[in-house]
Amino acid sequence: MSKPKPFTSSFWGIIIVLIIAVVMLGVANYRGYRAGFNLPFTPITTEQAKPSKTEPNTAHLFTSQVELERICDPLDNNPINWDKQVALGYTITNLSSGYQLNLLSVRRQSNTIDIRYHRTTPEDNPDTVYTQVISYPVILAIVDRTKLIASSELVVNFIINDTVIQTLKIPPNKI
């Protein structure tokens, strides 16, 4: 009876262990991707993005300064590196100075991105008097382009106070 060669059996053993490890890492990564993850973002506040043209209640993807300036005045110090970043934003109608919109999070789950905002209203501060001014603030989330790459359509949900206000569908070749 011949003995198995030690090199051959240990070589195939290592290959099998590596294949199992790669499959397990792939499954764990896929589950994490499906569960979603927070995307790093930089918020641009309404003080920096002032609408020069009224487009109320509209979702936007800006991939260049020219696109952004169709909706907003030029930003101070141009904080966006357009080669590496894009801006996702929502223009909302405010009926008085008592409304405020704060960007809470940007989360990706598969091919869906949820951008969560919190909106305060004059009713939140009943002891304060606010001026009656209609405004159209734009709150932008600056995100790395590489975090938005998708092989199919990307769906961006703009969520204010836990309600989806608008959905923006982005084809894969747009980013």
Q: Is 31 helix (H, G, I), strand (E, B) or coil?
A: helix
Judging by beta carbons within 10 Å of its beta carbon (0-12, 13-18, 19+), is residue 40 exposed, middle or buried?
exposed
Residues 31 and 43 in one domain: no
> Model confidence over 59-118: pLDDT tens digits?
889 999 888 888 777 777 778 999 999 999 888 776 667 777 889 999 999 899 999 998
User: Does residue 49 form part of some domain?
Assistant: yes
Higher pLDDT among residues 5 and 152, named by residue: 152
Range of the domain at 5: 1-35
175 lies in a domain? no
Q: What angle do CA 157, 79, 73 make, to 5 degrees?
A: 75
Instruction: Place 155 in a pLDDT band, splitting at 50, 70 and 90.
Output: very high
List the beta bridge partners of residue 137: none
* Alpha helices for 74-167 (secondary structure H): none
Task: Report how many domains make up the chain.
Answer: 2
Asked if 1 and 30 sit in the same domain, the reply is yes
**Which of these, 57, 61, 36, lies nearest to 163 by C-alpha position?**
57
Three-state SS at 48: coil
- Do the beta carbons of residue 141 and residue 103 sit within 8 Å? yes
Q: How high does pLDDT run on average in the chain?
A: 81
Per residue in 25-42, pLDDT tens?
776 666 555 567 899 998
**Same domain, yes or no, for 59 and 109?**
yes
Flag whether the pTM goes above 0.85: no
Specify if 102 maps to a domain: yes
Residue 166 pLDDT > 60, yes or no?
yes
In angstroms, what CA-CA distances link 63 with 69, 75, 124, 156, 164? 11, 14, 35, 15, 23
Q: Same domain, yes or no, for 44 and 90? A: yes
What pLDDT is stored for residue 143 in this prediction?
95
Decide if 135 is inside a domain. Answer: yes
Task: Examine the domain organization and report whether 29 and 51 are in the same domain.
Answer: no
Residue 146 sits in the same domain as residue 108:
yes
Residues 120 and 165 in one domain: yes
Domain identity same for 29 and 46: no
pLDDT digits (tens, 9 = 90+) for 119-140: 887 777 778 777 777 777 778 8
Residues 47 and 128 in one domain: yes
